[in-house]
Amino acid sequence: MTLRNDSKATLGCFLALVTGLIFLGGCGGSSSSSSSTSTPAANNTAAVTVGFGPLGAAGGIVNGIYTSVTVCAPGTSNCETVDNVLLDTGSAGLRILNSALTTVPASSLGTIKDSSGDQLQECVQYGDTSYSWGPILVADVELAGEKASSVPIQVIGDNSFAVPSQCLATPVNPNLPNGGNEDTLATLGANGILGVGAFGYPLDCGSYCTSSSYLTQSGYPYYVCPAGQACSGTTVPYNLPSTSSNPDYQVTNPVAMFSSADNNGVLVTLPSIPALGAANGTVSGSLVFGIGTQTDNALASSATVYALDEYGNIPAFTYNGVSYTSPTNFSVLDTGAGALLFLDANTLASSGISECADAPGFYCPTSTVPFTVTVSGAINTSGTGTMTFNIMNADTLFNTNNAAFNDLGGDSGTSPASDFFDCGLPFFFGRSVYIGMMPGVFTGETAAPSGASSTYGYYAF
């Protein structure tokens, strides 16, 4: 079995947008015309809702946060708005279920092919050992009044090729539905994922996918599948800003490709909710594009700004006198996680936390436990700040049949050696949280506002 092919190892030299490219010049939204023109400010606010999502209560998802994304055939006004797309500050790039594209089917989007005519595919892995598999296609993407042209997106579940074994070298745990394949609404619980994470740069692979030396690594994401052969890893260049002569090919956070100046991050604002939660369909908030670019997204003077480290993590946090330091114990702000995934029940036993007997991994303290976590990396204060939150009995919360909770907690690992803090959606209620991308790295990306300068992106709240 040959996993390498020299002509494929340098795919980037031969990549061509087979459709879409010829329309680029005429579509008016080319990202090369970004910040120098003075156009009226775009409507930069998209609505978000929190709840069970498209599967309803039976789907078992709480604290899902969803928005709508408009996908257009490149260079055309042939557009379709897809609702129930998961807003995810824990990933980068737009992924849409093939089944959610109906009036603008995948076949109407631009394709990316190598010199042999083989189409670019991606197997994206998730931390729970699940995965999504499908081609990288090119679309114009609209979010509220913002537009991004020729955005590489993954259309998941639109694929007749077998998933490469190289991608699944980590076996899928049997308790994941559908063998860990997240290519359907039933498993994904959303019509897609809008990844707007900070993580240094707004790409899902970045420089790890531009060098041929990683092509045969387990878990490598990008492939081509020549007829009659196994899919093999391929390098994929990225170009930001994306232009007709230098298009971007990696799945990219569409926000970073906006033609407006609102391309340096997002602001997520959710209302406060009661301790026992809020019913499905009653919680809505806003996803504001840009930070410090319009009157509605100024970095609040009261906000503490935390610079992320080279891994895209908060550098360190301290709880109960114990310091947890990235990369061993990482922490992120993650709307894609439905709970406060904080340390583990044994470590938190002295704080009154115990694991639920009937819901493994969730926390069931007998009474609500307040937490104050000291966070390092603050760049506009004395170097540290605090995160405060409560954790309530998960059984009590689930018994309400509510769909949004600000105090749902669960474990991240099994001991301080493996623990982390995946700070999920509960933290976002009653707050305005800024997710700032790496400023100034890519030409055309609007710089961060004063006080938020950082090499690898930042959080502020």
Partner 1 sequence: MLSLGTVPAWAVLGQYESSVSVDQQYLRSEDRVQAFQAYKVHQLTTASGTIVREYISPQGLVFGVTWQGPFMPNMQQLLGSYVTNLQTASPAQTHVRHLRGLTVKTNDFVFVNGGHMRFWKGSAYVPSLFPSNVSAEVVR
Under the rule (CB under 8 A), what is the footprint of partner 1?
A: 1-4, 61, 90-92, 124-130, 165-166, 169-171, 173-176, 182, 189, 195, 197, 199-200, 204-206, 208, 213-214, 216-221, 311-313, 327-328, 330, 332, 334, 336-339, 341, 360-361, 410-418, 420, 422
- Shortest distance in whole angstroms from residue 424 CB to partner 1: 8
Q: How far is the CB of 108 from partner 1 (least distance, A)?
A: 28
Q: How far is the C-alpha of 105 from the C-alpha of 225, rounded, in Å?
A: 22
Nearer residue to partner 1 within complex by CB, 35 or 354: 354
Q: Which is nearer to partner 1, 72 or 255 (CB)?
A: 255
Q: How far is the CB of 218 from partner 1 (least distance, A)?
A: 4
Helix, strand, coil % over all residues of the chain, rounded to 5: 15, 30, 55
Which residue, 88 or 140, has its beta carbon nearer to partner 1?
88
Q: How many angstroms separate the CA atoms of 424 and 441, rounded?
A: 28
Q: Which is nearer to partner 1, 60 or 274 (CB)?
A: 60
Q: Taking the complex as a whole, how short is the minimal distance between the CB of residue 422 and partner 1, in angstroms?
A: 6
Closest CB to partner 1 among 49 and 326? 326
Q: Which residue has the tokens 């390098």?
A: 235
Among 332, 327, 367, 369, which residue's Cα sits nearest to residue 347?
369
- SS3 for 410? strand
Nearest distance in Å: CB 341, partner 1: 6
Rg (CA), the chain: 21
DSSP 8: H
* Distance of closest approach, residue 176 Cβ to partner 1, in angstroms: 6
Q: Is the dihedral of CA 441, 443, 444, 448 positive or negative?
A: positive
For residue 310, what is the DSSP state? T
With contact defined as beta carbons under 8 Å apart, do 299 and 452 qualify?
yes
* In the complex, minimum distance from the CB of residue 379 to partner 1, in angstroms, rounded to a whole number: 21
The answer to whether 233 and 35 are in contact (CB under 8 A) is no
Q: Which is nearer to partner 1, 61 or 153 (CB)?
A: 61
Contact 39, 294 (CB under 8 A): no
Q: Which is nearer to partner 1, 50 or 104 (CB)?
A: 50
- In terms of Cα–Cα distance, which of 225, 229, 259 is closest to 242? 259
Q: Which residues of 146-176 are buried (b: 16+ CB within 10 A; e: fewer)?
A: bbbbbbbbbbbbbbebebbebbbeeeeeeeb
Nearer to partner 1, 40 or 228 (CB): 228
CB of 88: closest distance to partner 1 in angstroms?
A: 8
Q: Which helix (H) or strand (E) holds 384?
A: strand 384-391
